[in-house]
A and B are shown apart, each in its own frame.
Chain A
């Protein structure tokens, strides 16, 4: 029995060693490649908000996140025309998904500290579509004070 136990140890050792070696190999190989940039609806909106907040005047940067090229140019032009004394939008809470399918999604952005931004709605719902593997905004709707803000879906 003790002999059997030893052999079991031997099998266990080999399995463990093999697992470690495979794990090491995966780790080494993993380090050699740069991870691909993830594309998901929420990060697409976060990037769009950040571009706008920084007043990017690069229309092609907006166009990577917005389906309609004309809107991308309008945002770039708006950023160029605005005064740089104050930010163009309020700060925002972390965006979240309120609806998702394989090809469409809705992301809600709740704006913070709106006091200095007259007319800004409490929240905005962005409609996105997955276009050739990239999530792009196709529409946006203000959610007014009288409306319920859509809840987060898991």
Chain B
């Protein structure tokens, strides 16, 4: 008996069945199999016990074995977790202080915008995050406890309270500080979004605030285009001083418990540490004397800072290399 030939219709049905079954099999295998094993990350180093170095490179987050972060900019931490604004991923990355990735929180795009561009963030008193989204010209409140929820716009009022072109944010004790480049202002809000006051500067106002850092009774303002960092006295809301040194595009600021002021200089590719009065620089790193600097410890474009007093470590986003670089710093105050 001659074998039967296959009709075109039957062939199409067979092809479709094979495709559907094959796709289902692949989907099943992809969903079933555990995520690709993460390469073991290099633990963060500590300063050698016999070292006299003031600063040492502890390592990077993600480590050299892991993929780089897509344009990490703003950084904040609550003592347990680090939150980093990933501008090119429209997301917030969450890490432990030892560098273990915990989750990635998407930041939804504003109405009419194709994407969001988170550039800075601050942790509010209830654990939510205030996120500066430059693509949406807004500040968004994102809840890490409910990462799938769309954020709520912060301070979306009118008149003087309206946020037009935010560039930086910080928060402390229920108060939120936001820099707006549309009028060179820095404003203080309640966490509810209610405007309390606008800080006053000796002219000229900053044209671009690269970072804000509130520490105790002082608000530090990175006046990036003017190569300076301004201190604002929170009791009066007025400028009270300037760090006594010209800086190479100052961005992130962090303050130690003893009052030392650390400034990230993006163009200077370094961290300058000032004494508590801001009158003199007591340390600069990374440099040749920085322990472990040969292991990718130099900075290319440092942006944002988080100082961990308990671990005596400084966390620095290095935008061009897509990492959070971590430095041990010996505080002798």
For the complex, give the distance between the alpha carbons of A20 and B27 in Å: 13
Interface of B is mostly: mixed
Tell me the nearest residue of chain A to B86, going by C-beta: A34
For the complex, give the distance between the alpha carbons of A24 and B224 in Å: 49
For chain A, the bracket of interface size reads 20 to 34
Is A25 a contact partner of B249 (Cβ separation < 8 A)? no
In the complex, per-residue mask of A1-44: 1 if CB is within 8 Å of any chain B CB, else 0: 01101100100010011001100110010000010010000000
Is B208 a contact partner of A59 (Cβ separation < 8 A)? yes
For the complex, give the distance between the alpha carbons of A59 and B25 in Å: 51
Nearest-neighbour CB distance to chain A for B303, whole angstroms, equals 8
Is B23 a contact partner of A73 (Cβ separation < 8 A)? no
Is B14 a contact partner of A13 (Cβ separation < 8 A)? yes
For the complex, give the distance between the alpha carbons of A57 and B18 in Å: 57
Nearest-neighbour CB distance to chain A for B181, whole angstroms, equals 5
In the assembled complex, which residues on chain A have CB atoms less than 8 Å from the CB atom of B303? 60
Interface: A108 (CB within 8 A): no
Interface: B301 (CB within 8 A): yes
Is B6 a contact partner of A60 (Cβ separation < 8 A)? no
In the complex, per-residue mask of B180-212: 1 if CB is within 8 Å of any chain A CB, else 0: 010010000000000000000000000110100
Nearest-neighbour CB distance to chain B for A31, whole angstroms, equals 11
Q: Give the total number of A-B pairs whose CB atoms are below 8 A apart.
A: 85
In the assembled complex, which residues on chain A have CB atoms less than 8 Å from the CB atom of B208? 57-59, 76, 80
Is A77 a contact partner of B3 (Cβ separation < 8 A)? no
Is A20 a contact partner of B19 (Cβ separation < 8 A)? yes
Contact of B70 among A28, A34, A76 (CB under 8 A): A34
Nearest-neighbour CB distance to chain B for A16, whole angstroms, equals 7
Nearest-neighbour CB distance to chain B for A63, whole angstroms, equals 7
Interface: B26 (CB within 8 A): yes
Interface of A is mostly: helix
For the complex, give the distance between the alpha carbons of A107 and B26 in Å: 45
In the assembled complex, which residues on chain B have CB atoms less than 8 Å from the CB atom of A16? 15, 18
Interface: B167 (CB within 8 A): yes
Contact of A24 among B5, B11, B22, B167 (CB under 8 A): B22
In the assembled complex, which residues on chain A have CB atoms less than 8 Å from the CB atom of B184? 80
Interface: B225 (CB within 8 A): yes
Known: A2-B5, A6-B5, A80-B225. A37 touches B18 (CB 8 A): no
Tell me the nearest residue of chain A to B248, going by C-beta: A69
In the assembled complex, which residues on chain A have CB atoms less than 8 Å from the CB atom of B5? 2, 5-6
Is A21 a contact partner of B301 (Cβ separation < 8 A)? no
Interface: B88 (CB within 8 A): yes
In the assembled complex, which residues on chain A have CB atoms less than 8 Å from the CB atom of B267? 59, 63, 69, 73
Is B6 a contact partner of A6 (Cβ separation < 8 A)? yes
Interface: B310 (CB within 8 A): no
In the assembled complex, which residues on chain A have CB atoms less than 8 Å from the CB atom of B248? 69
Known: A9-B11, A13-B15, A69-B267. A59 touches B224 (CB 8 A): yes
- Which of A3, A16, A57, A69 has the largest count of B CB atoms less than 10 A from its CB? A57
Which residue numbers of A lie inside 8 Å of B, CB to CB? Answer: 2-3, 5-6, 9, 13, 16-17, 20-21, 24-25, 28, 34, 37, 57-60, 63, 69, 73, 76-77, 80
Q: Top 4 nearest A-B pairs by Cβ distance?
A: A80-B207, A21-B22, A17-B18, A57-B208
10 examples of A-B residue contacts, CB within 8 angstroms: A3-B3, A13-B14, A13-B15, A25-B26, A60-B303, A63-B267, A69-B248, A73-B249, A80-B181, A80-B225
